[in-house]
Chain A
Amino acid sequence: MLALHDVRVFYGAIEAVKGISFEVRQGELVTIVGANGAGKTTTLRTISGIYRPATGSITFEGQDLTALPSHEIVALGISQSPEGRLIFGSLSVRDNLMLGATRRADRATIPEDLDYIFSLFPVLGERINQSGGTLSGGEQQMLAIGRALMARPRLLLLDEPSLGLAPMLVNRIFAVISRLKETGVTILLVEQNARKALEVADRAYVMETGHIILEGDARSLATNPEIKKAYLGG
């Protein structure tokens, strides 16, 4: 479904992503784990067209993404819940969610999707008219995921959805991610919380300083002694 081949991304003179290749197949939940600064966020933003790769190709269902503007990539069915949530703080929860649906052609089904998101995250329904900036960190994360879902994505990119959240909320977010996977959404999840990510994922890639250093199915990576030592705390 999504395939990256030898993608390099520069941040000015710094090479943040140094020639990575990976793929996400239809219906899969794939995770990229790795430490801060490994290039995970840069990779996701490059898929979404925020950054341009210097070399390499990114294809989605055979179509080249590297020359497309962000809004057309969203229109193809790739939406993202970004790192740091990036909620529009001055806009209401409703307006935030509606912005997620910007590129949708089927406007008629928007109300049922809103209901669906409120069933995943009831608190968003309670705060629909509140401005995004007044939500707690956990609620903002729910809003960021809900907003990305409003695009009815076929590929959902989740960037650090558990970052800065209390353990209970982390569990809730991961429960929702598992539930989303069951509904058939293909998910590419970037996480520093490798333990949690490997629990829910089908396959995983490990990134370190711009390279993919390991890949495999999530269960076997979770028991890999090297991974255990470096990312799972022994």
Chain B
Amino acid sequence: MSAAEFGQQFINALSLGSIYALVAIGLAMVFSILRLINFAHGETLMIGAVAGVVLADRGLPWLIWLPLAVLITVGAGWLMERVAYRPMRGAPDVTLLLTSLGVSIALQNGALLTLGSQPRPFPTPAVLGGQIPLAGGVQISRVNLVTIAIAIVLMIALTWFVTRTQTGIAMRATAENAMAARLMGINTNTVIIAAFLIGAALAGVAGFLWGSRVGRVEYDMGFIPVLKAFVATVIGGFGSIPGAVLGAYILGFGEIFLVALLPDYLTSYRDAFIFVALILILLIRPQGILGSTEPEKI
């Protein structure tokens, strides 16, 4: 691999990892507080992308439809918590997991009914199209650069939120010990809603970036990203937000460089390699890289 090629793949990996990270953060946040693996989180991403298509069809410029689409995604996250998960509060983990699968299937079918089974082109804004030529024949696609930049900005904002704001600190406290948090006077409902809203907003942005990347929108487009985000959170340590981000970038780099380095006849097995790696991690270090080994609290 030449240096130029390496540089290009490096940016690719960073960009892919950034999208996984944006999705994985929402998964990790909700899990850390509710012990809920929200598989329907992928559908929030899909809703964000679909909302973008629908709004752009109305002739709105992207600077208007993008924030609107994110707002709609946040609304979907709020509704999901209110309608599906809140009534299940305190139910066994397996019930929560099944609920999230149910929500996921329901939303996919809802999208299938309204959108049809045919992929629709994503209205990628013109500024995100094309490549930027760099020295040595390296070309970087604008969408990759924008993806990386947006992810960095959002992650800095999130770090500020969880370390500097009262709600953010309350969120970490609730994740660590919900009963102690309640004894402090923290309204854990507010914290849970905040986790869903923030996760949905990040997924909405990820929907936009993913749509721009693959150029199309489908009713089941959330499945692969959420599965990858799930792998990322397992690698990093489930429930840890920094872990989820770290896992997402490890996964992004793993995928891109596997394809770059493997002989052609093996590249289509990329996901198989990823999931074998997942199984190995679960066997060797089930708590993930940054996960704690503390025993389950009773």
The yes or no verdict on A and B being binding partners is yes
**Residues of chain A at the chain B interface (Cβ within 8 Å):** 48-50, 69-71, 74-75, 79-80, 82, 86-91, 95, 98-100, 102-103, 147, 151
- Report yes or no: B182 in contact with A70, Cβ–Cβ below 8 A: yes
Report whether over half of chain B's contact residues are helix, strand or loop; otherwise say mixed: helix
Segment of B39-47, B100-108, B164-172 in the binding face: B164-172
Per the 8 Å Cβ criterion, residues 233-260 of B in contact with A are: none
Question: Is B156 an interface position by the 8 A CB rule?
Answer: no
Question: Is B173 an interface position by the 8 A CB rule?
Answer: yes
- Report yes or no: A50 in contact with B183, Cβ–Cβ below 8 A: yes
A79-B176 CB under 8 A given contacts A95-B169, A99-B170, A102-B170 = no
- Report yes or no: A71 in contact with B182, Cβ–Cβ below 8 A: yes
- Report yes or no: B185 in contact with A103, Cβ–Cβ below 8 A: yes
Question: Is B180 an interface position by the 8 A CB rule?
Answer: yes
Contacts of A95 in B (CB 8 A): 169, 173
- Report yes or no: A102 in contact with B177, Cβ–Cβ below 8 A: no
- Report yes or no: A88 in contact with B180, Cβ–Cβ below 8 A: yes
Contacts of B182 in A (CB 8 A): 48-50, 69-71
Contacts of B179 in A (CB 8 A): 50, 82, 86
Looking at the assembled complex, report how far the CB atom of B179 sits from the nearest CB atom of chain A, in whole angstroms: 6
| Of A50, A74, A82, A102, most B-chain CB atoms within 10 Å | A102
- Report yes or no: A99 in contact with B187, Cβ–Cβ below 8 A: no
Separation of A88 and B170 alpha carbons in the complex (Å): 10
Separation of A17 and B185 alpha carbons in the complex (Å): 24
**Residues of chain B at the chain A interface (Cβ within 8 Å):** 166, 169-170, 172-173, 176-177, 179-188
| Of A48, A71, A87, most B-chain CB atoms within 10 Å | A71
| Of B169, B179, B181, B186, most A-chain CB atoms within 10 Å | B169
- Report yes or no: A102 in contact with B183, Cβ–Cβ below 8 A: no
| Residue ID in chain A nearest B187 by CB atoms | A71
- Report yes or no: A86 in contact with B186, Cβ–Cβ below 8 A: no
Contacts of A98 in B (CB 8 A): 166, 169
- Report yes or no: A91 in contact with B183, Cβ–Cβ below 8 A: no
- Report yes or no: B180 in contact with A82, Cβ–Cβ below 8 A: yes
- Report yes or no: A79 in contact with B185, Cβ–Cβ below 8 A: yes
**8 sample A-B contacts, Cβ–Cβ < 8 Å, listed by A number:** A49-B182, A50-B179, A70-B182, A70-B185, A86-B183, A91-B172, A98-B166, A99-B181
Contacts of B181 in A (CB 8 A): 99
| Residue ID in chain A nearest B240 by CB atoms | A90
| Residue ID in chain B nearest A100 by CB atoms | B184
Looking at the assembled complex, report how far the CB atom of A9 sits from the nearest CB atom of chain B, in whole angstroms: 15
Query: Which of A69, A89, A99 interacts with B184 by CB under 8 Å?
Result: A99
Separation of A70 and B166 alpha carbons in the complex (Å): 18
Separation of A88 and B255 alpha carbons in the complex (Å): 37
| Residue ID in chain B nearest A103 by CB atoms | B185
Looking at the assembled complex, report how far the CB atom of B191 sits from the nearest CB atom of chain A, in whole angstroms: 10
Separation of A91 and B177 alpha carbons in the complex (Å): 12
- Report yes or no: A99 in contact with B173, Cβ–Cβ below 8 A: yes
Given contacts A48-B183, A91-B172, A102-B170, 16 further A-B contacts (CB under 8 A): A50-B182, A70-B182, A74-B183, A75-B185, A80-B183, A86-B177, A86-B179, A86-B183, A95-B169, A98-B166, A99-B170, A99-B184, A100-B184, A102-B185, A102-B186, A147-B184
7 pairs of A and B residues whose beta carbons are closest in the complex: A74-B185, A103-B185, A86-B180, A70-B182, A102-B185, A71-B187, A99-B184
Separation of A53 and B176 alpha carbons in the complex (Å): 26
Looking at the assembled complex, report how far the CB atom of B175 sits from the nearest CB atom of chain A, in whole angstroms: 9
A79-B180 CB under 8 A given contacts A98-B169, A99-B169, A102-B166 = no
Looking at the assembled complex, report how far the CB atom of B125 sits from the nearest CB atom of chain A, in whole angstroms: 40
Separation of A70 and B179 alpha carbons in the complex (Å): 9
- Report yes or no: A151 in contact with B180, Cβ–Cβ below 8 A: no
A88-B185 CB under 8 A given contacts A95-B169, A102-B170 = no
Contacts of A49 in B (CB 8 A): 182
Separation of A80 and B169 alpha carbons in the complex (Å): 19
Separation of A90 and B169 alpha carbons in the complex (Å): 10
Looking at the assembled complex, report how far the CB atom of B172 sits from the nearest CB atom of chain A, in whole angstroms: 6
- Report yes or no: A88 in contact with B186, Cβ–Cβ below 8 A: no
Contacts of A91 in B (CB 8 A): 169, 172-173, 176
Query: Which of A70, A89, A103, A147 interacts with B176 by CB under 8 Å?
Result: A89
Separation of A88 and B183 alpha carbons in the complex (Å): 12
